[in-house]
Amino acid sequence: MVSAVPTDAELAATLDGDFTSDHAQVNGTRLHYVSGGTGDPLVLLGGWPQTWWQFRKIMPELARRFHVIAVDLRGMGGSAKPETGYDKKTMAADIHALIGHLGHQSAFVAGHDIGAAVAYHLTAGFPHAVRRLVTLDLGVPDASWLAIPMLPASDEQAAALTEGRGGYPWWFALNQLRELPEQLLDGRFRLLIDWLYGHMLHDQASVDEQARRIYAHAYDSPQAIRAGNGWYQSMRQDVADLATYPPVTTPILTLAGEDSYPALREQMADKGTDVRVVAVPGSGHYIPEENPEFLIARLTEFFTGPHRTTRPETPTA
């Protein structure tokens, strides 16, 4: 028998920093968030297929300097899962409204995966609401994403799938489908969780059994699968919306796993006037869980110190 998964409130209580689990009604939807610490507001936005819990390793230390707010996006975890509103422009408006709801005019923002796309649209659409932006291992959906091939584009990508490494995002296509993913994955989502981690983690032990059960439980229903897939089904709209924004002048730091660093260095080059791309040593896609110490140091440095535009960096020891 599978042991019960703790509630968000129970999980929040295990973190140092007096973290609490709350909900807010904003922008026509209900968002769940976990907050703690004191200082300038720092909003953390997670990705697929995870929840706010992916930031558990960095939240206590960051709470020493910041008021940390880890959010379940529209459709994620403890947040509502409406039928519509999964384009990143709308989801960015959710977060903008949440920042105001919590009594802030602006915040530092860091987003991983889908959360990175939402964070970028938040910065582009509400530039005065984001003091500085960090994106984690995802580029911004742009016109190049419309050309992702249906088959692995190289022998290297094909070999990576065979050898248990990432490199080909086949789930982008699967998640476009209506109803079939729910039928295939309802009650079986742990299989997908383990496949993704098996191919996109450098250190399998960095995401433990409890975390995998938490994530699988969060997505293991037709409603949750539909909602998460909505983030992918809206990407054509995201590309169109991207073209409507003025140039982003907010300082941006992109932290990339070692495998994705070359591609992200190219993809982020035109996404702002002040963009820095840094490779995270010893990490695949799931940076907050694989190298939390490096991430804490970079976030603290970027959000509290002076910033200047520099050339992209290569991994450091």
Break the chain into its structural domains and give their ranges.
8-304
Query: Which CATH number describes the domain made up of 8-304?
Result: 3.40.50.1820
What does the mean pLDDT of the chain come to? 94
User: 277-307, pLDDT tens digit by residue?
Assistant: 999 999 999 999 999 999 999 999 999 987 6
- Which of the pair, 257 or 2, is modelled with greater confidence? 257
User: 120-151, pLDDT tens digit by residue?
Assistant: 999 999 999 999 999 999 989 999 999 999 99
Mean pLDDT of 44-63: 98
User: 175-201, pLDDT tens digit by residue?
Assistant: 999 999 999 999 999 999 999 999 999
Query: What integer pLDDT is reported at residue 314 of this predicted model?
Result: 44
Query: What integer pLDDT is reported at residue 77 of this predicted model?
Result: 98
**Is the pLDDT assigned to residue 79 strictly greater than 60?**
yes
Task: Compute the distance between CA of residue 211 and CA of residue 185 in angstroms, rounded to an integer.
Answer: 19
Confidence of residue 168 (pLDDT cuts 50, 70, 90): confident
Task: Compute the distance between CA of residue 92 and CA of residue 73 in angstroms, rounded to an integer.
Answer: 9
Q: What are the b/e assignments for 2-21, b being 16+ CB within 10 Å?
A: eeebbebeebbeebebebeb
CB 251 within 8 A of CB 274: yes
Mean pLDDT of 143-166: 88
- Which of the pair, 316 or 248, is modelled with greater confidence? 248
Confidence of residue 310 (pLDDT cuts 50, 70, 90): very low
Query: What integer pLDDT is reported at residue 238 of this predicted model?
Result: 98
Query: What integer pLDDT is reported at residue 87 of this predicted model?
Result: 98
Mean pLDDT of 74-80: 98
Query: In the β-sheet with 275-280, what is the strand arrangement from edge to edge?
Result: 20-26, 29-36, 66-72, 40-45, 107-112, 130-136, 252-257, 275-280
Residues with Cβ within 8 Å of 199's Cβ and at least 6 positions away in sequence, in order, are: 160, 161, 164, 165, 166
